[in-house]
Amino acid sequence: MNLEIKKSKIPGAGKGLFAKGLFKRGDQVIEYTGENITWAECKRRNELLDGVGAYYFYVSPRKCVDAQNVLDSLARYANDAAGLVRIDGIKNNSRFEVIKGKPYIIASRTIKPGDEIFVGYGKEYWDAMRENGFDPSKKKKKSKVEAEVHEHHLVPKREAKH
């Protein structure tokens, strides 16, 4: 395997996914694996987790991948360099793509050995997390929120502004 898990370069992010080999632009870095469930089951599980379903990947209403309890699913450790905490000089170097019904992380530029794999979760994901009080330093949020899907991720629904 050309990947390994180490401490992320993003403060407060925990673990990160790192390349041990070279990935060229367009290469499949890794499949996002986990338990295959339905979108309805994702929402049910998210409620049980108090609105913090961090490892769901939405493919279709009938197929979502839940890596919450699949610790050997390496793709779940890929962080978003454009998230709540940004570091100068660190940018996303890959993207999510569904190929033949399976989610993958695809290199969007050359990734060298030792580089951390960074993949975009989507602006709306982080906007919703911010609006709902998610604090990356505490890994908690202030209040329970409902979730919706956006760009393959379960995203907290934004509460209506008064």
Looking up residue 145, the CATH number of its domain turns out to be 2.170.270.10
18 domain residue, yes or no? yes
58 domain residue, yes or no? yes
37 domain residue, yes or no? yes
Q: Is the pTM of this model over 0.75?
A: yes
Residue-wise pLDDT for 131-144, tens only, equals 666 655 554 443 33
H or E stretch covering 97: strand 94-99
Which class for 81: exposed (0-12), middle (13-18), buried (19 or more C-beta within 10 A)? buried
19 domain residue, yes or no? yes
- Where do we find the tokens 């070279």? 22
Overall domain count for the chain: 1
Tokens of 4: 């390994």
Bridge partners of 116, per DSSP, are 18
80 domain residue, yes or no? yes
pLDDT bucket at 1, cuts 50 / 70 / 90: confident
161 domain residue, yes or no? no
83 domain residue, yes or no? yes
162 domain residue, yes or no? no
Residue-wise pLDDT for 16-31, tens only, equals 999 999 999 999 999 9
DSSP label at residue 94: E
Angle at 149 between CA 146 and CA 155, to 5 degrees: 50
Which structural domain range is residue 109 located in?
Answer: 3-156
pLDDT at 6: 96
Radius of gyration for the alpha carbons in the chain, expressed in angstroms and rounded: 15
